[in-house]
Amino acid sequence: MDVDRLTTVIEDFNTIFIRLPSVRRFNFSTLSVLHTLNRKGPLRLTELLPTEQLKQPALTSLVAKLEQDGLLERRPDPSDGRASLISLTSAGQEIVHSRHAHRVAKLTALVDQLTPEERALLAGSVDVLHRLTELAEDSP
């Protein structure tokens, strides 16, 4: 297997995919925080920090801005009253869901241009890509 080519293809696909037109535009860090909280549920700031590639002061500032904008909320952590859990508000969830739906529509239009054989190959790749994602999340 040509892992170098696979890497390049994934990088190129990601470049195109993240730029698919969307309903509302946000910077990468904002979208990353919103999508992480959507997938992983309420998290402490310290749990969010490793996934976001930001230093703590920058993430703290971003979370405060998103909270002020009504996209995130903080609640006391039931397991430790001194800590807070950060979660999406309904407005934050709506952004994530509308962006996803818009991307599904755009990607569907692209997939529809593939041959039936190409669509079958792509369908068979979904589980493998999902497994690679799981392996990446589990590795230190």
Domain carrying residue 116: 3-138
Instruction: State how far the Cα of 104 lies from the Cα of 106, in Å rounded to an integer.
Output: 6
Tokens of 44: 């402490």
Residue 114 DSSP class: S
Alpha carbon distances (Å) from 50 to 36, 47, 58, 61, 118: 11, 7, 13, 16, 37
128-132 average pLDDT score: 92
In tens, the pLDDT along 89-127 reads 999 999 999 888 888 988 999 999 999 999 999 999 999
pLDDT range class, residue 20, cuts 50, 70, 90:
low
- pTM, two decimals, is 0.81
Tally of structural domains, the chain: 1
55-80 average pLDDT score: 95
pLDDT range class, residue 27, cuts 50, 70, 90:
confident
Kindly report the CATH number assigned to the domain that includes residue 76: 1.10.10.10
